Amino acid sequence: MISRGENAEITTYLEKSLTSELSGNVIDLCPVGALTSKPYAFNARPWELRKTSSIDVMDAMGAAIRVDAKGDGVMRILPEVSEGINEEWLSDKSRFIWDGLARQRLDKPYIRENGKLRPANWGEAFAAVKEALSASPEKIGVVAGDLIEVEQAKAALDFFRGLGVENTDCRPAGAQYGTDGVRERYILNGTLAGVEDADALLLIGTNPRVEAAVWNARIRKAWLWADLKVGRIGEAADLTYEHAWLGDGASALTDIRNSDFGKVLSDAERPMIVVGEGALCGEDGAAVLAKALELTNEIGAIKDGWAGFGVLHNAAGRVGALDIGFVPGEGGAATAEILSGG
């Protein structure tokens, strides 16, 4: 705000722009409506909207949202209160993604012929699917999308297992986790809200500012108010709070024991270690997971009343699909091999 009294005026940042993944929340914070959503402005009145509570799928947090629609068109997406997940906040990606519902959407099936896609009707599409599924089971591969629902994943897995298909996967290419069936090794055991109870946090191969912006704000709140100590292994990045950068390679996990932050973790009463999904994809993914679990046990991050180890995923449907076992069957190929035709 510039000037005073009757000359006061809401304006933009002077000589610089606001860089934030949560800037849209100022719309909700403004008490007089001077700050508004440009895509929504003048398109509808609040009493004209049909309001539907839902769950955000733009990241793996599962924030509580409200979808406001007028007729058959979505007009805006707002956060709803969910103290354990997003509190009352929402990331800009989730808030403003709704305009994509009306642009470049797949509203009809397509069939690939001679290397090119052509529009088709549903009869042709199902005929093409039937023909494709007439191949031998070992030549069929099934990759679950990032937004798949648990029910869809279960139905698809049962269907293709019934056909004898073992090439099924829901993980990114190169993923080295989730096949042993131990759920505690691929979920965020400490919970999103649990970071406020932690006194030391180690982030491995993840940038929560990009991957889970609202959770990153919660980490910043714990850093500001509860003196949370944060360390990070991965590419250097601005997380909006001070943290100890420990390196960007898997070797940093071994070297951490001799670092100052290693002592912080050891002395912490409630330490938390969070591994990013990206760190678990690649040739050294399994080793990173094993070292992270070893370090977790060494510092006592798993004990009665506290579970300080977890994995931060990037996709909304990933954990649900892993829970029902949407991974390669016996002798089956994983995502990378399926997509490469191997």
Q: What tens digit of pLDDT does each residue of 300-335 get? A: 999 999 999 999 999 999 999 999 999 999 999 999
Task: Indicate the SS3 state at residue 3.
Answer: coil
Residue 130 has pLDDT above 80, yes or no: yes
φ, ψ of residue 175 to 5 degrees: the values are -65, 140
Determine contact, residues 250/281, Cβ cutoff 8 Å. no
So what's the pLDDT on residue 13? 64
Residues 191-210 have a mean pLDDT of 96
So what's the pLDDT on residue 342? 65
So what's the pLDDT on residue 106? 84
Residue 35 has pLDDT above 90, yes or no: no
Determine contact, residues 185/277, Cβ cutoff 8 Å. no
Residues 92-104 have a mean pLDDT of 89
Residue 102 has pLDDT above 90, yes or no: no
Residues 190-206 have a mean pLDDT of 95
So what's the pLDDT on residue 15? 72
User: Any idea where the domains of the chain sit in the sequence?
Assistant: 21-102, 183-313
Mean pLDDT of all residues belonging to the chain = 93
Query: What is the percent of the chain where pLDDT is above 70?
Result: 99
Q: What would the two tokens of residue 22 be?
A: 């949560």
φ, ψ of residue 152 to 5 degrees: the values are -65, -40
Q: Distance (Å, rounded) from C-alpha 228 to C-alpha 82?
A: 22
CA 298-304-309 angle, to 5 degrees, is: 50
Q: Distance (Å, rounded) from C-alpha 1 to C-alpha 115?
A: 56
The per-residue pLDDT for range 248-290, each reduced to its tens digit, is: 888 888 899 889 999 999 999 999 999 999 999 988 999 999 9
Determine contact, residues 323/203, Cβ cutoff 8 Å. no
Q: How much is the pTM?
A: 0.91
The per-residue pLDDT for range 42-84, each reduced to its tens digit, is: 999 999 999 999 999 999 999 999 999 999 899 999 999 999 9
DSSP state of 115: T
DSSP state of 241: S
Residues 34-38 have a mean pLDDT of 87
CATH of 183-313, one of 3.20.20.370, 3.40.630.10, 3.40.228.10, 3.40.190.10: 3.40.228.10
